[in-house]
């Protein structure tokens, strides 16, 4: 197996050129898919037989919750890569994705609370699922806080990589919290092995808005990483050339 892609990915210059070509396209296709999924889900998908229209918040809640976990998985993997191979791109990835992950985690928590009030009858209970997602949000906040508060940038990169790797333990807890313990939260909507327990006109817009949010966040992450690459590599000759040639 060829490892060149792995080494290429580790080169800030190569990543910058790759991202300049793709970031805007990925971001815009994310916006388009997200709009299609949300409009379809919020306006045209059928309502639920028990919950009526309040069920529609699923089209915001589930994509945000999926993304919150996926971003953290990325954070953990990048942390591991940085601690083992000292790849330059890994801390750039962590620094750029952490605020995005925190944002989607917050959206998942808030939309869940808004959904919970009319259906369950409460904004919040300390059940295993809700609490473990709150911990996920706090982990993101911890990563952001440490990255920004440590003066020594090399130390900061190492510290957030460690939090990223250790925080991975939380992901299976979130995933299986609804199965291991009694919770108020219902089991997962999307499973890898089974068809979702809803008709196609309900899950198709959900799938589209989830994919849309993936692309949306990926595009934003690439844009943020480009900025971070330029900032960190500002003393190298290729950045000087790039800035002189294309402006900032």
Where do contacts with another protein occur on this chain (CB under 8 A)? 46-51, 55, 58, 80, 83-85, 118-122, 125-128, 165-166, 168-169, 173, 181-184, 186-189, 196-199, 201-202
Q: How far is the CB of 1 from another protein (least distance, A)?
A: 14
Q: How far is the CB of 58 from another protein (least distance, A)?
A: 7
DSSP-derived secondary structure for 47-101 = PBTTTBGGGGGHHHHHHHHHHHHHHHHHHHHHHHHHHHH--THHHHHHHHHHHHH
Residue with tokens 């300390």: 126
Query: Is residue 90 a contact partner of residue 175, using CB atoms and an 8 Å limit?
Result: no
36 burial type by CB count under 10 A (0-12 exposed, 13-18 middle, 19+ buried): middle
Q: Which is nearer to another protein, 58 or 156 (CB)?
A: 58
Q: How far is the CB of 9 from another protein (least distance, A)?
A: 17
Closest Cα to residue 87, out of 17, 15, 204, 7?
7
Q: Which is nearer to another protein, 17 or 119 (CB)?
A: 119
Q: Which is nearer to another protein, 63 or 219 (CB)?
A: 63
Q: How far is the CB of 109 from another protein (least distance, A)?
A: 17
Q: Which is nearer to another protein, 16 or 203 (CB)?
A: 203
């Amino acid at each position: 197996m060829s490892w060149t892609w792995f080494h290429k990915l580790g080169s800030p210059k190569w990543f910058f050129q790759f991202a300049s070509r793709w970031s805007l396209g990925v971001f815009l296709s994310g916006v388009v898919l997200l709009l299609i999924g949300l409009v379809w889900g919020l306006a045209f998908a059928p309502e639920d037989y028990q919950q009526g229209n309040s069920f529609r918040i699923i089209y915001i809640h589930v994509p945000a919750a999926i993304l919150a976990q996926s971003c953290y998985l990325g954070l953990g993997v990048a942390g591991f890569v940085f601690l083992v191979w000292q790849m330059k791109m890994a801390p750039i990835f962590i620094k750029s994705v952490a605020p995005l992950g925190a944002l989607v985690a917050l959206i998942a928590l808030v939309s869940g609370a808004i959904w919970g009030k009319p259906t369950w009858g409460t904004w919040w209970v300390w059940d295993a699922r809700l609490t473990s997602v709150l911990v996920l949000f706090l982990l993101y906040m911890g990563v952001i806080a440490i990255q920004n508060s440590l003066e020594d940038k090399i130390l900061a990169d190492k510290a957030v990589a460690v939090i990223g790797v250790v925080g991975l333990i939380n992901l299976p807890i979130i995933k299986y919290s609804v199965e291991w313990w009694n919770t108020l939260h219902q089991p997962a909507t999307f499973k890898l092995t089974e068809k979702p327990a809803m008709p196609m006109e309900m899950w198709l817009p959900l799938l589209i808005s989830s994919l849309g949010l993936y692309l949306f966040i990926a595009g934003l992450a690439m844009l943020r990483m480009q900025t971070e690459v330029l900032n960190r590599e500002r003393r190298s000759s290729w950045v000087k050339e790039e800035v002189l040639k294309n402006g900032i």
